[in-house]
Amino acid sequence: MKIVGVSLGTRNGSNDSMCKEALIAAQEMGAEVSFIHLLDWDIKDCTGCVACSRSLVMGKGNVCTRKDEFDDFRSQLLDADGVLVVDPIFEKGASGLFHTLMDRFGPRADRGMNVVATKICEEHGGKPIDPRLLKDKVISFIGIGGSDWATAIEYDHTMLAISPAWKVIDNEKFAWSKNIIMEDEKVERVREIGRNLAKAAADIEHAEYMGKPGVCPHCHCKNFYLDPESTHATCMTCGIEGDLVIEDGKFKFVFPEEQLSHAHDTLSGKFIHADDIKENEGKAIENRKSQKFKDSQARIASFNIPEILPPAKRECVK
């Protein structure tokens, strides 16, 4: 069973160190482990060209227009049974590099989209999808911060697992942890996360969440989008809509059973999303042919707003 650990911190810093602690603990459980220091890799930002979602729903395969080392990185993860991501907390949430990963995973790694694309390919021909994109996998996250500014980190991290529908085993954050390598209790928790991941990766079919309880009983999220006029709340991770109520002095998130079929981390929820994207992309392509769209574009193009170009593209003015 293979586990790959990915650190998004500085070379030999806290994130690298804790990633290696967890990996060694997983190795002691029998896992074959490997380590990636992601800052050394050429991973470019997503441009938002939507070639990935369009190609998937048109049976043209799983493409990305960016040319860098992302596909090799993704391939390393797709070959593993379990993935561990250790990420520095920036601005209360995940690092910018982690957000780039989320975007690059995005529609392209979405399990629902890839199932739809595989069906299209089987029924009508076309470019086949990498079967590794349809496989179950387990993933754990660790966020490490230098203060207690950390309220978005667990939410950010689970979003990476939503797209490929990988099972989250642990989702831990360590606040005030600049010197985590000297804090035995925290290091032991990190090692436990490594062991949990190894156990889960050995039996992915029966793998269960092993982290601390959250408020959403479905996905364990603690972040909600609240309606200021009522108790109505939407779970920020899985998108389930319900009410946040207080029971025995604690928050409880209650929702109608049927909401589960819409949850963004379930295959049924993903199919709803894939259908929405297919419909909306189709409408967007049609709308672009209309006179109103062309007139609007021409109007905006006529605006007299000077553009400040990046220094390398500026003409040399003497």
Ligand X SMILES: Cc1cc2nc3c(=O)[nH]c(=O)nc-3n(C[C@H](O)[C@H](O)[C@H](O)COP(=O)(O)O)c2cc1C
Which of 5, 88, 106, 194 touches ligand X by CB under 6 A? 88
Minimum distance, C-beta of residue 190 to ligand X, in the bound complex (Å): 13
Q: Is 174 in the site for ligand X (CB under 6 A)?
A: no
Please work out, in degrees rounded to the nearest 5, the angle formed at the alpha carbon of residue 66 by the alpha carbons of 65 and 72: 115
Which of 31, 94, 150, 201 touches ligand X by CB under 6 A? 150
Q: Which stretch binds ligand X (CB under 6 A): 70-78, 89-97, 218-226, 247-255?
A: 89-97
Q: What is the total count of residues that contact ligand X (CB under 6 A)?
A: 18
Strand-pairing partners, residue 236, are none
Are 241 and 227 in contact by the 8 Å Cβ rule? The answer is no
Q: Is 107 in the site for ligand X (CB under 6 A)?
A: no
Q: Which stretch binds ligand X (CB under 6 A): 63-71, 146-154, 186-194, 198-206?
A: 146-154
Q: Which stretch binds ligand X (CB under 6 A): 88-96, 154-162, 209-217, 271-279?
A: 88-96
C-alpha torsion angle, residues 202, 207, 213, 216 (rounded to 10): 150
Q: Is 13 in the site for ligand X (CB under 6 A)?
A: yes
Q: Is 112 in the site for ligand X (CB under 6 A)?
A: no
Q: Is 6 in the site for ligand X (CB under 6 A)?
A: no
Minimum distance, C-beta of residue 63 to ligand X, in the bound complex (Å): 32
Q: Is 146 in the site for ligand X (CB under 6 A)?
A: yes
Using the minimum distance from each CB to ligand X, give the nearer residue, 108 or 189: 189
**Strand arrangement of the beta sheet that strand 224-226 belongs to:** 224-226, 232-235, 241-247, 250-254
**Crossing angle (nearest 10°) for helices 184-202 and 14-28:** 50
Minimum distance, C-beta of residue 177 to ligand X, in the bound complex (Å): 7
Q: Is 10 in the site for ligand X (CB under 6 A)?
A: yes
Residues sharing a CB contact under 8 Å with residue 219, sequence separation 6 or more, in sequence order: 158, 168, 235, 237, 238, 240, 263, 265
Among residues 142, 159, 274, 172, which one has the least CA distance to residue 219?
A: 159
At position 49, the amino acid (one-letter code) is C
Which of 41, 61, 132, 149 touches ligand X by CB under 6 A? 149
Q: Is 196 in the site for ligand X (CB under 6 A)?
A: no
User: How many angstroms separate the CA atoms of 257 and 225, rounded?
Assistant: 19
298 Rama sector, left if φ>0, alpha if ψ -120 to 50, beta otherwise: alpha
Minimum distance, C-beta of residue 23 to ligand X, in the bound complex (Å): 15
Q: Is 15 in the site for ligand X (CB under 6 A)?
A: yes
Kind of pairing between the strands at 250-254 and 241-247 = antiparallel
Which of 9, 194, 239, 242 touches ligand X by CB under 6 A? 9
CA distance readout (Å), 109 to 74, 113, 140 = 9, 8, 17
Supply φ then ψ for residue 305, to 5 degrees.
Answer: -125, 115
Using the minimum distance from each CB to ligand X, give the nearer residue, 142 or 236: 142
Strand-pairing partners, residue 232, are 243
Q: Is 179 in the site for ligand X (CB under 6 A)?
A: no
C-alpha torsion angle, residues 40, 114, 269, 94 (rounded to 10): 0
Which of 26, 52, 89, 159 touches ligand X by CB under 6 A? 89
Q: Which stretch binds ligand X (CB under 6 A): 11-19, 48-56, 243-251, 301-309?
A: 11-19
Which of 31, 97, 129, 144 touches ligand X by CB under 6 A? 144
Site residues, ligand X (CB under 6 A): 9-10, 13-16, 88-92, 144-147, 149-150, 175
